[in-house]
Amino acid sequence: MEEQGRGRSKVWTPLLFSIVLVTGMIFGFNLRDSLRNKRDINTVIQRNDRLEEIIDIINEKYVDTVNNNLLYKDAVSGILKSLDPHTVYIPAEDLQGINDDLEGGFSGIGVEFSVVRDTIQVVSVIDNGPAGKAGVEIGDELIKVGDSLVAGTSITSDRIIHLLKGKQHSQVAVTLKRATTGQIKEATIIRDIVPIYSVDASIMLDSITGFIKINRFSATTYREFSDAMKGLLAKGAKQLILDLRDNPGGYIDAATSMADDFLDDKKLIVYTKGIHTLRTEYKADKQGLFEKGKLVVLVDEGSASASEIVAGAMQDWDRGVIMGRRTFGKGLVQEQYELPDGSALRLTVAKYYSPSGRCLQRSFAKGKDAYMQDYEKRFEGNELTRQTDTSILADTTRYYTSGHRVVYGGGGIKPDVFVPYDTARLSSPLQAMIYSQELKAAIWDYFIRNKTKLRFKNIVDFNEAFFGQDQIIADYLSMLKPEDMVQANRVFKNKANYQYFKVQIKAQVARFLFKDNGYYAISLEDDDAVRKAMGVMNSNEYSKILGQ
């Protein structure tokens, strides 16, 4: 993974749910296999001369100068306004980045960075990546990229990304300052394809329970998942927690390939159909990696499209327990058509249906704005925070799982086990402290000061022996303004808040040492859904839920 700002839920970037919804709407959700072939719109439709004539008249007669690109963009937006929320126009300047996310890689140097006190700090280096081969290390400060000074200039993350990305095999010169010695180092890095990983974490939670976190369904997702699953099985995994929370979807073939590893006997995974699209069925057709063994799939309101395909198939076949909160409710399939100017139209061409026959698409009859504001309404109505599931699905048609359990469509997947938000951790003051610049700086300073001492063989050793949170908290508090200090002390009076704050600090340090696996190994210890999943799998409640 490269630079900060790529859309992943990094330690330095607060993951706001509204961003998840908008990002998912723009770059992904559920797409046809043919998306990667990027069909040319000129092979499908002919030009509509009326639009061209209107724009020509405007250019010739309008009282002021006009921007043709804006006219076309507004015209397209007007045309799409009456269609579904997932049919979107993608401007040329946005298309490459969106495609990079779905293809699972781009050409760059292979680092993650964070801006600390107006300085670009390298916080992660891809193993055997371009930057690593050139001698770049975690902790290095980026001073110059080419001839551009990037230190102390209030430079934005987007600008840094633009400077570091480039054509494959092209060169970029960087000037670095080694944090531990202050030595200035110049390096020439040969850009190459840098992976955008779909698997955030793959770890053992105990001697028999594996955990895999998937952040999107891209072209590389199934290969990453397969490697992760094989690794966990080799470590003795006999049951699995598959975390699809905040996963907005992506390619349908990535989702069906993953679901195939959990299902046997040519079982139907999903089917799609539309007015102009014949019914297409996706079935399990190979010996799966994990057809037996207990399975819990974690979902929430950010789980959409391809995530819902996997969760829906598991629920309909009673293959695993679905746990969390009602999913987003996106059951539409898009094809992408490229336009001559480099932009693209992503058009909904079909709906998808789970094995029981239910369509999970949420209604958008009240318009796109109301559709996208559904999360806020659910939150304000306390649906997400009550101790019992109060979600109401618009479609009351009964569908049945293989074990004859009743399920519904028309608004996402209602989980078998509901896990509410922890309202204490949602408090604005606590979240502001966790994602503050002061805490970021305190953690980074501690890591750099103690870099040579933080040499642990594995995550388990780190978890048992690291006790640096108190020093980091003291450093953090020393940076605060008096009024912020008062607020912090008020938050810390709640012991649960203080403990959660310490866990987050420890997890962030673990990420520097062991990357995302380190972060999740620590943070999951304080995750209500994971704790609930472990309790269900390690008791007879699992069989009772599935009626087995």
Please write the tens of the pLDDT for every residue from 235-260. 999 999 999 999 999 999 999 999 99
Element (H, E) at 517: helix 495-523
| 223 and 169 both lie in a single domain | no
Residue 318 is classified by DSSP as T
| 248 and 369 both lie in a single domain | yes
What pLDDT is recorded for position 46? 54
Q: Is residue 544 part of a domain?
A: no
The larger pLDDT score, comparing residue 463 to residue 13, is at 463
- 104-158 per-position pLDDT tens digit: 888 999 999 998 888 899 999 998 899 999 999 999 999 999 988 887 777 788 8
Residue among 127, 102, 538 nearest 344 (CA) = 102
What pLDDT is recorded for position 102? 85
| 283 and 385 both lie in a single domain | yes
| CA 356 – CA 314 distance, rounded (Å) | 11
The larger pLDDT score, comparing residue 537 to residue 32, is at 537
Residue among 280, 446, 369 nearest 85 (CA) = 369
Residue 278 clears pLDDT 60, i.e. is over it = yes
Q: Is residue 191 part of a domain?
A: yes
Domain finish residue from 365, 391, 421: 421
**Confidence at 18, pLDDT banded by 50, 70, 90:** very low
| 109 and 98 both lie in a single domain | no
Domain finish residue from 421, 454, 486: 421
Q: Is residue 368 part of a domain?
A: yes
| 149 and 260 both lie in a single domain | no
Say if residues 192 and 107 touch (Cβ distance below 8 Å).
Answer: yes
* DSSP string for residues in 31-46: E-GGGGG-EEGGGT--
Q: Which of 253-257, 345-349, 377-381, 414-418 has the lowest mean pLDDT?
A: 377-381
Coil vs helix vs strand at 352: strand
The larger pLDDT score, comparing residue 11 to residue 395, is at 395
| 96 and 187 both lie in a single domain | no
Domain extent for 527:
425-531
Highest mean predicted confidence (pLDDT) among 54-63, 280-289, 361-370: 280-289
Say if residues 417 and 545 touch (Cβ distance below 8 Å).
Answer: yes
Q: Is residue 2 part of a domain?
A: no
What pLDDT is recorded for position 7? 38
What is the number of H-type helices and E-type strands within the chain? 19, 24
**Confidence at 519, pLDDT banded by 50, 70, 90:** very high
Residue 536 clears pLDDT 60, i.e. is over it = yes
Element (H, E) at 177: strand 171-177
What pLDDT is recorded for position 545? 97
Residue among 377, 356, 373, 371 nearest 311 (CA) = 356
| 71 and 111 both lie in a single domain | no
- 403-418 per-position pLDDT tens digit: 999 999 888 999 999 9
What pLDDT is recorded for position 21? 40
| 259 and 375 both lie in a single domain | yes
- Burial (0-12, 13-18, 19+ Cβ within 10 Å), 440: buried
Q: What distances in angstroms separate CA 114 from CA 5, 124, 211, 356, 512, one per listed residue?
A: 9, 9, 27, 46, 12
| 187 and 224 both lie in a single domain | no
Q: Which of 172-181, 186-195, 200-209, 372-381 has the lowest mean pLDDT?
A: 372-381
| 27 and 131 both lie in a single domain | no
Q: Is residue 137 part of a domain?
A: yes
What pLDDT is recorded for position 269? 98
Q: Is residue 1 part of a domain?
A: no
Instruction: Kindly give, in sequence order, each residue whose CB lies less than 8 Å from that of residue 176, ignoring residues fewer than 6 positions away.
Output: 122, 136, 140, 141, 142, 143, 184, 185, 186, 187
Highest mean predicted confidence (pLDDT) among 139-153, 261-275, 362-376: 261-275
Retrieve residue 133's tokens. 């081969």
- 67-84 per-position pLDDT tens digit: 888 888 888 888 898 899
| CA 143 – CA 174 distance, rounded (Å) | 7
| 221 and 308 both lie in a single domain | yes
Mean pLDDT of the chain: 88
CATH of the domain at 113: 2.30.42.10
Domain finish residue from 421, 440, 470: 421
| CA 356 – CA 431 distance, rounded (Å) | 40
Q: Is residue 147 part of a domain?
A: yes
Q: Cα torsion for 493, 494, 496, 498, to the nearest 10°? A: -30
Q: Is residue 493 part of a domain?
A: yes
CATH of the domain at 37: 3.90.226.10
**Confidence at 224, pLDDT banded by 50, 70, 90:** very high
Q: pTM value? A: 0.88
The larger pLDDT score, comparing residue 98 to residue 313, is at 313
Q: Report the DSSP beta bridge partners of residue 297.
A: 242, 322
Domain tally, the chain: 3
**Residues of the chain above pLDDT 70, percent:** 91
| 342 and 305 both lie in a single domain | yes
